[in-house]
Amino acid sequence: MNQWKYLLNFNSNQQAGCVTWKVGEKPVFSQAFSPQKKFWVVGDMWLTNRSELYPGWEGRDEDLVALLWEKWGVACLQQLEGIFGLVVWEEESQSLWLVRDRTGGKTLYYTNTGSTFAISPCLQSLAPYHSQELDLVALRDYLCCSFIPGERTLWKNVRELRPGSFLCLPKGKITSYWQPEEEITNGEKPLEWHGEKLRSLLNQIIQEYLPENESVGVYLSGGLDSSCITALAAKFHAHPVHTYSIHFGAECPHELEFSSLVASHCQTEHHILEITPQQMWEQLPITLANLDDPIGDPLTVPNYLLAQFAREKVKVILNGEGGDPCFGGPKNQPMLLSQLYNQEELLLAYLTSYQKCATDLSRLLKPDVWKAVENEVSVFAADLYADANYLNRLMLLNIKFKGADQILTKVNNLTKAAGLAGRSPLFDQRIVKLAMETPPQYKLAGAEEKAILKQAVADILPREIIKRPKSGMMVPVQLWFRKYWQRQARDLLLSKKAAIAPYLNQDLIRDWLHYRGDLWGRYGVKLWLLVSLEIWLRVRNNC
C-alpha cells in the first residue's frame, strides 16, 4: 500500500491549517470530479477562455478542468488561459499534479518531510510543516531586490512552483509547459502595424477581464499603463467605472493632475485617497501578514489601503501592472548603458539597478552569512547571459521574476485580503507573447519608451498622457524616516532580540538610521526594506 501522505490547503482563510489527506482515503475537502471519477481537481482559478474550451459552459472552472484533464491529460494545460494554481489527483497512477498558470497570477508552495508533502497557495498555512530556519540565499536575494526571485522562499526547504510549470508527485519531477521567450516576427513591418495588432489584442483581453453586470474599478496613477487600461475599460464597460488614485499629502509630489485628467477624459467616477505617514507605519504589519514572502517595496501598504478603499464600491479591480516589463519601461535604460561600457559586470549592474542593498552585502550580512552565500549562483544569471536580444533579456527577467515574484503576488494577495478580485491585463500570457514577438526598436529606443503601447492607444488618451515621461509613484520614505519613523525604526532594527540580528550587521544599520554617508538619498528605501523584513519575521514567528 502506498504510504504517501499529502496535506492540502485551498481554504481562502490564510490562517486555516492544511487538510490532511492520505493516499487511499476519501478527500474531505471540496473538489471537482471528472465525468468518470478518474481525476479530481482542487484549486484557485479564473479562466478567460472557458467559452472556447467548452461552448455554453456555465459550471465551475474546476469542473471544466477536471473534464478536460480526463480527455487530454496534462496536455490540456496548453489550452488553458487565465490565472490559476491547481492540484489534480490521478487515481489510476496514484499521482498528484501541482500546476501554476503561465505568468504567475496565482501561487503554489510546497514542502516535504519524508513521505509527507504539504501544499498550499498560501505560504503561511505551511508553517506547521517546516522549520523556522531561513534560506540564506533567499535572504541575500531579498536584500538585493526587495523580493525573493525564483523557486526559493525565505524558509529553508520550502519551494514555490514556478509559473508555466507543473510538479508531479511523488516522483518530484518539475516540467515546464510554457515559458516566455524571444520570438521576433514581422520585423519588416512598421510601428503602426504592430500598434494595431497590440490594440486588437488589448480590446479582446480587456473585455474578457471586465466583470458581468456590475461596476469595475481601476487603479489609476496617471501614467501610460494604468491610463490605457482605464480608457479601454470605459470604452467597453456598460456599467460604472471607478478609478482610484493616491497621494501622500501636501508636502510630497504627486500625479493627481494627470490621473484626474484621465478620469475626466474617460468619464469615470474618480476617488482619491490620501495616505499619511502614520497609516503607512501602523498598517505595515497587517499588510505583511497578507503577503507570502516579504516584499520590501514601499508601495505594499498603499496597495493594501487602496484595495480596502476600493472594496466599498467594486468587487473587481484592474491595474496597469506589466507595461514596463512587457514594453520596455525607462528603468531598462541604465542597464542598456551599462552593457555598452561594462559587459563583464552585467549581473552586478542588474542587481545594482534595483537600488537596494546589492553593493552593501559584504558589510550588511554578518561574516558567516556572507561567506555562505557569496559564491551562490544568482537565479538571474541564466537569462541575463542568454542569447536573446539584450533588451528582451532584461524584459524576460522582469516578467519571469519581478512580475511573478513581486508584482503579481502582491496584487493577488492584497486584493484578496480586501475581498477583491485583482486582475492585471498587461500581464496576460497573450500580451507577454506578443511583446516577445515585437521588434525591440518598437519597445525602447533611446529615450522613447513603450513606443508600441503609445501607438496602440494614442486615439483614446489625452496627448499629455501619451507624451509625458514616466515618473513612477514615489513613496516619500526618505522624508518620513527622517521626520516621523526614526525612533520606531531604531527600536525595531537595533534591538538585541531583533529577528534580523543573527544575520545582519546592526552597526551598519545604525549608520543608515542616522543617514551617515547617504550621498544619493537612498537610505530611506533600504531602511523600509529592513523594517519590512523584521516585521514580516516577527509576524510569522508569532503565528
Q: Which residues are annotated as a binding site?
A: 61, 246
In terms of Cα–Cα distance, which of 500, 502, 494 is closest to 538?
500
CA torsion, ordered 142, 147, 150, 156, to nearest 10 deg: 50
Pairwise CA distance, residues 320 & 395, whole Å: 16
Amino acid at 113: T
What cell numbers appear for 3 in the block?
504510504
SS3 category, 316: strand
Give the position of cell 503561511: 124
334 is written with which cell numbers?
Answer: 541604465
Q: Considering all CA atoms of the chain, what is the largest pairwise distance in Å, rounded to the nearest integer? A: 69
The one-character DSSP state at 374 is T
Q: What are phi and psi of 330, to 5 degrees?
A: -65, -15
Numbered residues of the known binding site for ATP: 246
Residue with cell 500546476: 99
Cell for 433? Answer: 507573447
Q: Is 460 helix (H, G, I), strand (E, B) or coil?
A: helix
Handedness of CA 73, 77, 81, 82 (dihedral sign): positive
Task: Give dist(CA 11, CA 531) in Å, integer.
Answer: 29
Burial class (CB in 10 A: 0-12, 13-18, 19+), 250: exposed
CA 510, 514, 518: angle at the middle one, nearest 5?
105
CB of 159 within 8 A of CB of 109? Answer: yes
Q: Return d(Cα 524, Cα 503) in angstroms, integer.
A: 20
- Give the three cell numbers for residue 98: 501541482
DSSP 127-191: GGGS-S-B-HHHHHHHHHHSS--SSB-SBTT-EEPPTTEEEEETTTEEEES---------TTS-H
Which positions make up the binding site for L-glutamine?
61
DSSP category for residue 176: E
Q: Determine the Cα–Cα distance for residues 1 and 3; give it in Å rounded to an integer.
A: 6
Whole-number Å distance between alpha carbons of 518 and 516: 6
Number of helices followed by number of strands (H, E) in the chain: 24, 18
Q: Is 180 helix (H, G, I), strand (E, B) or coil?
A: coil
Give the CA distances from residue 262 to residues 316, 319, 372, 465, 522, in Å, rounded to whole numbers and listed in that order: 20, 14, 51, 8, 31
> What burial class does residue 215 get, using C-beta atoms within 10 Å of its C-beta: 0-12 exposed, 13-18 middle, 19+ buried?
middle
